Amino acid sequence: MHLRPAALITAVVLCALAATRSVEAQSHKFKLGGGAGFASLHDPELNLGRTFVVGGLFGFRFNDNFSFETGFNLARSNRVYNEDGVPIDDVQGLPAFRFQTNRFQIDGTLVYNIGRRQPFHPYIVAGGGLVRRKKTRTDVVFETNEAGQDMLVSSEVVLDTAEYEAAAHFGAGVEIYFLYNVAARVEYRFYIPQSFNQYTRQFYFGATYFFGE
């Protein structure tokens, strides 16, 4: 009988602490995040393959559902090809050229989180920005010497360009809270530039930190 008031008081205190943390979570207006993942860069002429991508973001939360983010991501493809433009991923022959693409994207994104802010919080995104693609092609020539060894004769940069264009994107993901102001993030985005045949598909893992009043 004497334990009931103590248990009741303990329950009230725990609920008050939980409510305080909930209020703190709702009051966070800013977020800062970053992460890495995989990107598939599409090119109309060459198979650039899947590559690594890194990025970061800074955002402002209007409420539990709507927020705006500005961010960047960088992906790079660096492959060698035979004379027919087929990528050489193992030692099957001598490369005819090397093609490198650096894709840098900076954008603004509107984020809509579905439902109330909970430990598992799905969202959808849409936005636009600017993409910069730096392309470099280096042609190489090999000759076989008297000993039957393949020797590099020449290496010449025949393409070195940088291009900019507007790009839109959309996607979906989920934030998984493991602290009241820290969440893991998993998302998929599809980037559509003005030249559609150079689109990008991206799968991303990251973390977000919420702060500010």
Q: What is the pLDDT of residues 6-39, one digit of tens each?
A: 444 444 434 433 333 443 445 689 999 999 999 9
State the residue range of the domain holding 84: 29-211
Within a domain: 84: yes
199 vs 117, residue with greater confidence:
199
Tokens read off for 152: 């590099």
Within a domain: 20: no
- Helix, strand, coil percentages (3-state) for the chain, rounded to 5, are 15, 65, 20
Q: CATH number of the domain that 207 lies in?
A: 2.40.160.20
Segment 144-173 mean pLDDT: 85
Within a domain: 156: yes
Contact, 185 vs 33, CB < 8 A? yes
Segment 137-143 mean pLDDT: 85
Within a domain: 22: no
d(CA 41, CA 175): 25
Q: pTM, whole model, 2 decimals? A: 0.78
Within a domain: 83: yes
Within a domain: 12: no
- The predicted-structure confidence for 117-132, as pLDDT tens digits, reads as follows 778 899 999 999 999 9
- The predicted-structure confidence for 66-120, as pLDDT tens digits, reads as follows 999 999 999 999 999 988 888 887 655 678 899 999 999 999 999 999 987 778 8
Within a domain: 96: yes
Domain count, the chain: 1
Within a domain: 130: yes
Residues listed for the chain: 213
What confidence score (pLDDT) does residue 18 get?
39
